[in-house]
Structure 1
Amino acid sequence: MWHEMFAQQVPFAEKVIRTVLVYALIAVLLRATGKRGLSGLNSLDFVVMFLLSNVVQNAVIGADNSITGGAIGAVTLVVVNTAVTRAALRNEVFARIFEGNDTPVIRSGRVDQGAVRRLGLRRHELDRAVRLQNGEDVRDIESGDFDPDGHLILTLKKDARDANHSDVVRIEARLERIERLLLERG
């Protein structure tokens, strides 16, 4: 019994190669689905993720059902993922290939319908992001980019922004000058 649990049925090198190839395939598939596929997952996305892991399981482990074979596959996945993540941190070209670039979706209050359609964004998602930034409407947005992680990054137009600390300090200083002038005249 113990021997069967740990006896490898597939050679170590084959197990590593299988795992790396499946990792690359899944990375390409996820990259091909676009940024939208990596943002907020819905229930159908979870179904696909669960089924996908089951579909590629045999491709990773082959005919090997041993604990050792599973451990080799798991360790290989973690090592390859760590290497890819670190390579993306060090190399801008590598990061762009594996992670992608920001996609402009709003410029000067206008929605780029082509970009929104390609990304699979819905209008209510844009509107919600605008409200989260304290904007009233897409017209209040100077720029909006969809980043590779699936986040919508918005910048409000200057006249649509709430007052910040420096604005308050400037107004207080102005009020103090006005009060001094009024006291000097009065």
Structure 2
Amino acid sequence: MNPYLDVIIRSAAVYLFMVIALRIFGKKELSQLNTADVILILLISNAVQNAMVGNNTTLLGGIAAATVLFTINFTLKKLMYRFKKFSDFMLEKPEILIHDGTLDFKILSKLNITSDELKEAMREHGVEYFADVKLAMLEIDGNISIITGDKMLKQTHYKRRKNHKNLIQGM
């Protein structure tokens, strides 16, 4: 087999595996990386490098692998834009965390969002009390959006951090 065709097939297989793995384990976990996440990414990249290029350590082999990864990524994004069902399959759904001041403890527990993380997101949005939150959403990219009834309140952007502490502490 042509060594570059081998690199293309291997790279495509690894990319598709990684897409499926991230879909199963959750993209929300990548919204903001902690030390363990960075280590995991480094180890995964090292583990799959040989699976993609095999013995081909040439410059053209590396460029072929990178080109395949960029092409598949571009194609998947176009498919998600064009086909809603495919997009729904590939992307997580936004989740309501607080509605009219009422916390959804079941969803918070399922998503491993602690009270400290939720309070931090509220402070980032200038909100002090749960009762002041009209709607808090965990967006598909892992960000927490906070909406209040206060029209003068400046809305900001908060990135959720992955946290492995006990679930929903101190609520």
| TM-score in terms of structure 1 length | 0.75
4+ runs deviating over 3 angstroms:
none
Counterpart secondary structure, 1:84? helix
Amino acid at match of 2:65: G
| Structure 2 equivalent of residue 104 of structure 1 | 96
2:57 matches 1:60: no
Aligned to 1:176: none
Match of 1:77 among 55, 59, 69: 69
Query: Which has the larger share of helix?
Result: 1
Q: How does 1:30-179 map to 2 (within 5 A)?
A: 30-156=22-148, 158=149, 161-163=150-152
Q: Distance in 2 between matches of 1:163 and 1:15?
A: 56
The alpha carbon displacement at 1:10 in A equals 5.5
Deviation string 1:98-148 (CA, Å, 9 cap, x unpaired) is 122111111221222222122221211111111222211122112111111
Separation in 2, partners of 1:141, 1:128: 13
Check if 1:11 corresponds to 2:11: no
Q: 1:16 to 1:116 in 2, by over 3 A?
A: same
Offset from partner CA, 1:36-70 (integer Å, 9 cap, x none): 31211111100000000001111111121121111
Q: 2 CA distance for matches of 1:36 and 1:163?
A: 30
- Residue 163 (structure 1) shift: 3.3
* CA spacing shift, 1:78–1:35, aligned 2, 3 Å: closer
Contact 1:36–1:121, Cα closer than 8 Å, also in 2: no
In structure 2, C-alpha distance between the alignment counterparts of 1:73 and 1:21, rounded to whole Å: 11
Structure possessing the higher relative contact order (Cα contacts under 8 Å, 6 or more residues apart): 2
Letter matched to residue 18 of structure 2: I
Distance across 1 between alignment mates of 2:27 and 2:106: 15
State the structure with more CA Rg.
1
Query: Comparing 29-38 with 138-147, which one deviates more in the overlay?
Result: 29-38
CA distance in 1, matches of 2:89, 2:123: 32
- 2:140 is paired with a residue of what secondary structure? coil
Q: Aligned pair count?
A: 153
Task: Please give the alpha-carbon distance, in whole angstroms, between the structure 2 residues aligned to 1:110 and 1:35.
Answer: 26
Instruction: Describe the SS at the equivalent of 1:104.
Output: strand
Unaligned runs of 5+ in 2: 154-171
* RMSD of Structure 2 on Structure 1 (CA): 1.8
CA contact (8 A) 1:131 1:137 kept: no
SS of structure 2 residue aligned to 1:105? strand
One-letter amino acid of the counterpart of residue 105, structure 2: Q
Identity of paired residues, percent? 27
